[in-house]
Chains A and B, each alone.
Chain A
Amino acid sequence: MTQVDERFMYVNMGPQHPSTHGVLRLLLKTDGEIVEHATPHIGYLHRGLEKIAERVTFPQFTPFTDRLDYLASMNCNLAYALTVEKLLNIEIPRRAQIIRVIMAELNRISSHLIAFGSFSSDMGAFTPFLYGIREREFINDLFEMVCGNRLTYNYIRIGGVSKDIPDGFIEKTKEFLDYFPAKLKEYNEVLSYNAVFVKRLANVGVITTDQAIEYGITGPNLRASGIKWDLRREEPYLIYNELDFDVPVGKGEMGTIGDSWDRYMMRIYEMGQSARIVGQCLDMLPQGDFTAKVPKVLRVPQGEVYVRAENPRGELGFYLISDGSIKPYRLKIRAPSFANLSIFPLLAKGVMVADIVALIGSLDIILPEIDR
């Protein structure tokens, strides 16, 4: 901002603000209650991950991908592993592939639970937040069983997974799958169709299909705008082409296609689909190795790939250039939230100040991924 116009009031929101989902700073130019212009300022969590990637070896970078999008560490691990494996050109055992799908989908559920919970508390309902965390703790327990950590797993490695799933994991996961659908129903009863909640979200922050494509929006936000685009279907990786699941698309049930309510609801629908996928995978889990043979000192052949995977927030892509040494020459991370947030100034134009919070929450951004 260079010039200050005295007819407007400038409000600085963040970087410390409970409803910005991290250290996002917004500079709002307001005319009374109406937002004239919003400028996002990012980079308060810029950790230089891309530079770090050039200074560590290929396997050493896996833990850093955990911290890329910490709500969906498994998915980030997976996308990175897929990228390096594409260059290495190795075959992953089927058991490892299925374990990866189970973990990725469980993590998708737990990530959407946080999206659901924090969004509800942004909207002034604190109880659903506690519900979301309650179910998330269940999944955290499952992950703790397989890898010993609750948040940053470093479980999906180059070549497979770090260890086989322990005894009792399948039973406990089945227990979760029996328990979870009833909870989803409860969320809908408590929050999704609540009249106040719907009033605050329907027709707010509509992203049209053209806008969504122009800004490179992906994931649930894109699907809420009515485009059936899911990389698990369009460019199937692992065993997704063998699985039976639906791709929910925004229909404008409460207002317009692509409004905040649609974006919120995509996540609820997707949790149900992910639970379906996990159930199918548990039934088809074969015996076998959990990892392919990968040398200790990993030299990745010279080459250049761009591999993308469907993360809870959209398309996570790694653009990897290798010069044949043990370290990446260049690793560009194409983060979904980065593109999803770039549309924000457009959405925020002309809305009420209170709707800003709804907009950020419905986009479900995560800052470490934006700033990297």
Chain B
Amino acid sequence: MEAKDIHQLLVNRFHDRIKDFQENTFPNAVVVDGSSIVEVCGFLKNEPGMEFTSLISISGVDLKEQSKLMVAYHLGSMQHKHKIVLKVETDRNNPHVPTIEMLWRGANWYEREAYDLYGIIFDGNSDLRRILLPDDWEGYPMRKDYVYPKRYHTWNV
């Protein structure tokens, strides 16, 4: 199924909670309201004809100029071989996104990674700890305005 048709189906079902459709990206992206990401993902995963059974990845993106953080969910279907990107935007100063761990258990680590590097808090994640950096690390290094620290423990960074 074409991403355009999927977008249309989503709009029919979720109305104004589905925002933009980005045609110039590959795969095409749909911007979704943060509060309904779980429902949208659940719909895409289970609806016959869609069967987006694979969660390919979850990536954080810093949209500094719009003062927002974005989470991009790449979904794919092994059965129908189509792909789509769902995007959720959240406030840069207080980033909260609901977890989708109950749909794909593999999401847990991706969400922890986005938390670790961007500081996006995934509400409901069962184990939201730093995953790559040490527990006592300060700041979220993938943010565009991150300043590298001078010292860590007893040595220079």
Residues of A at the B interface (CB closer than 8 Å) are: 42-43, 46, 48, 50-51, 54, 86, 213-217, 227, 229, 234-235, 303-308, 315, 317, 319, 321, 330, 332, 334, 338-339, 342-343, 346, 371-372
- Residues in B105-123 with C-beta less than 8 Å from chain A: 105-106, 108-109, 117
B25–A303 touching, CB < 8 Å: yes
Contacts of B108 in A (CB 8 A): 342
Among A43, A86, A216, contact of B132 (Cβ-Cβ < 8 Å) = A43
A306–B74 touching, CB < 8 Å: yes
7 A-B residue pairs with CB within 8 Å? A42-B132, A46-B133, A217-B106, A304-B29, A306-B27, A306-B56, A339-B109
A342–B132 touching, CB < 8 Å: no
Q: How far is the CB of B79 from chain A (nearest CB, A)?
A: 10
B106–A215 touching, CB < 8 Å: yes
Among A234, A307, A319, A339, contact of B106 (Cβ-Cβ < 8 Å) = A339
6 pairs of A and B residues whose beta carbons are closest in the complex = A43-B132, A332-B59, A215-B106, A334-B57, A304-B25, A46-B132
Contacts of B156 in A (CB 8 A): none
* Cα–Cα, bound, A371→B133 (Å): 9
Q: Is the interface of A mostly helix, strand, loop or mixed?
A: mixed
Given contacts A234-B81, A332-B72, 14 further A-B contacts (CB under 8 A): A46-B132, A46-B133, A51-B142, A86-B26, A215-B106, A216-B55, A217-B106, A304-B29, A306-B74, A319-B72, A332-B59, A334-B57, A339-B106, A346-B105
B26–A330 touching, CB < 8 Å: no
* Cα–Cα, bound, A54→B24 (Å): 22
B26–A214 touching, CB < 8 Å: no
Query: How many contacts A-B (CB < 8 Å)?
Result: 86
Q: How far is the CB of A67 from chain B (nearest CB, A)?
A: 16
Among A303, A308, A315, contact of B24 (Cβ-Cβ < 8 Å) = A303
- Residues in B123-145 with C-beta less than 8 Å from chain A: 130-134, 141-142, 144
Contacts of B117 in A (CB 8 A): 50
B78–A319 touching, CB < 8 Å: no
A42–B56 touching, CB < 8 Å: no
- Residues in B13-28 with C-beta less than 8 Å from chain A: 22, 24-27
- Residues in B27-70 with C-beta less than 8 Å from chain A: 27, 29, 53-57, 59, 61-62
